[in-house]
Amino acid sequence: MKKRIVIIGGVAAGAGAATKARRTNEASEIIIYEQGEYVSFANCGLPYYVGEVIPQREDLFLITPERFKRRFNIDVKIKHRVTDIDPVKKEVTVEDLTGGTRFQQPYDELVIATGGEPVRPPLPGVELDNIFTLWTVPDADAVKGYIDRERPRRAVVIGGGFIGLEMVENLLQRGIEVTLVEKANQVLPPLDWDMALLIEKHLVEKGVDVILEDGVKAFNGSGQLEQVELESGKRIDADLAILSIGVRPRLELAEKAGVLIGDSGGIVVNSRMQTSVPHIYAAGDIVEKRHLVSGRKVRIPLAGPANKEARVAGANAAGGYMEFRGVLGTAIVKVCDLTVAVTGLNERDAKDAGFDYFVSYTHSQDHAGYYPGAETMTIKVLVDKRTARLIGAQIVGPRGVDKRIDVFATAIYSQLTVEDLEHLDLAYAPPFGSAKDPAIIAGFVAANIYRGEYEAITPEELLKVVNSGEDVQLVDVRSPEEYDGGHIPGAVNIPLDQLRDRLDELDKGKTVYTYCAIGYRSYQACKLLDHHGFKPINLSGGYLHFSRRLPKE
């Protein structure tokens, strides 16, 4: 059946909906209206173009309007802004930005894919020339052009989310001194604080001045930014500022058309991406989605879900039948020499959703330790205490993070338990992994905790015990050399290989808290102590994870 399908927005969701609609129905007339100059560009690549990691600007463009027409018979109207939707007449009002004319465009089915726009708070001085956001190709052109032309020495990045961290890295790549300002008490909010701390410390090692729990009060300068003034009173000299404090969905058109907006701040859609108004679909950053673990409605603006939603909206608008199931919030970002990834629930969300869960930390090398170049990654998993189901995972490390986070995302999607993780059959060769893959090791450790084979304590919980003033029986089972290099205050050193012969030094009437570097030797110590009638508890993640909370000496 021939239909006229109108799509508002021509970037990821809009372009994806259009091409899927064409593959579903060859007879349909398909029109995209995009208010900008470009369609289907790689906005995730913009920071790397600024940093000259992607040297050619043309590489950012996935497909041109001409190719849309030639290959898909889709009409793309750039520099055309849709200003109104009339769902009764089933038509949209379009403004041609090149000539200023307006016209009405009828539709049979409408897809709203207007995406988001960066937040630009109304702070004093925010309109100074050298303060930028990074969301579109013109934004990237402006930032890169300014850097190429003016050669700034000092930059301030406001906001420690994905784009903010990518900009920090790429400004460093351009030889610019960077200060990162974040209002929260951590960078990268989807992570838990303890994992975000690894990123913060890495940035500091790279020379970044990281300022947390402080916001911008004003931008000072005459015509050009000269100084960023913070709410604390601190002033930072700067030749350049990047605003990266969030993205708000463009909902104005949908709201005027009477489309229902959910509590998450996104458009309410069903699994077929249909809105509350007949014949209107929506996809991408503007819609709310069902979280596959918590079951709650969330708005997670990521490219992966946006593209899948676009396929569903486009297919259904063209007369097909597809459904979108939901999201896990799986995300990954490169921060200088680290890779950071997350999937499922973090601790804040798990508590908010009412889960009774436990946490397990492991430190594993990305490939066999005897093969050159092995690097250690830190893995944190959240496990439902009742069912043993994996509900969240976070990883920070130099290499191999991408492979493992996708294993965890697949496991969470499939509702696997940590006991299932123990039995995964994953590829192994020394250059690529270990016979006991990091994902499987995480399963081993978490499954041991779930089955009650030993009791574990998190660094936060142990820190409370150490600071409680109680007479704590804390045993460091590392070597004397490791112990002398730094240890938890109050710990006694009984190396694992000596523990069996020195049991008389411990009090069976008290709990024994054991730890080593990463938790493996102290796990063995726990098993030994348990067999001899002690009550041992092992520090999950070991001294390596605990020490990150200790003040620098």
| Residues labelled as active-site residues | 44
d(CA 57, CA 141): 9
Rounded Cα distance, 307 and 273, in Å: 12
Phi, psi of 445 (to 5 degrees): -65, -50
Strand partners, 538: 456, 514
CA-nearest of 416, 397, 270 to 339 is 397
Nearest-angstrom CA–CA distance, 42 and 434:
35
Q: How far apart are CA 459 and CA 452, in angstroms?
A: 19
> Could you give the count of Cα atoms lying within 13 Å of 283 in the half-sphere of its Cβ?
36
Name which of 306, 57, 55 is nearest 173 in CA terms. 55
Measured between alpha carbons, how far is residue 474 from residues 423, 427, 507, 513 in Å? 34, 39, 11, 5
Asked if residues 476 and 517 have their Cβ atoms less than 8 Å apart, the reply is no
Q: What gap in Å lies between CA 104 and CA 222, rounded to an integer?
A: 45
Beta bridge partners of 476: 493, 515
Which helix or strand (DSSP H or E) is residue 223 part of?
Answer: none
357: helix, strand or coil: strand
Residues 6+ apart with CB under 8 A from 366: 374, 375, 376, 377, 397, 398, 399, 400, 401, 433, 438
User: Closest Cα partner for 436 from 447, 450, 425?
Assistant: 425
What is the spatial distance between Cα 139 and Cα 196, in angstroms, rounded to a whole number? 28
Q: Is the dihedral of CA 192, 195, 199, 202 positive or negative?
A: positive
Residue type, 9: G
Greatest pairwise CA separation for the chain in angstroms? 90
User: CA angle, 528 as apex, 522 and 534 as ends, to 5°?
Assistant: 95
**315-352 burial: b if 16+ Cβ within 10 Å, else e:** bbbbbbebebebbbbbbebbbbebbbbbbbbbbebbee
Tell me the C-alpha distance between 420 and 364, whole Å.
Answer: 19
CA distance 113 to 305: 13
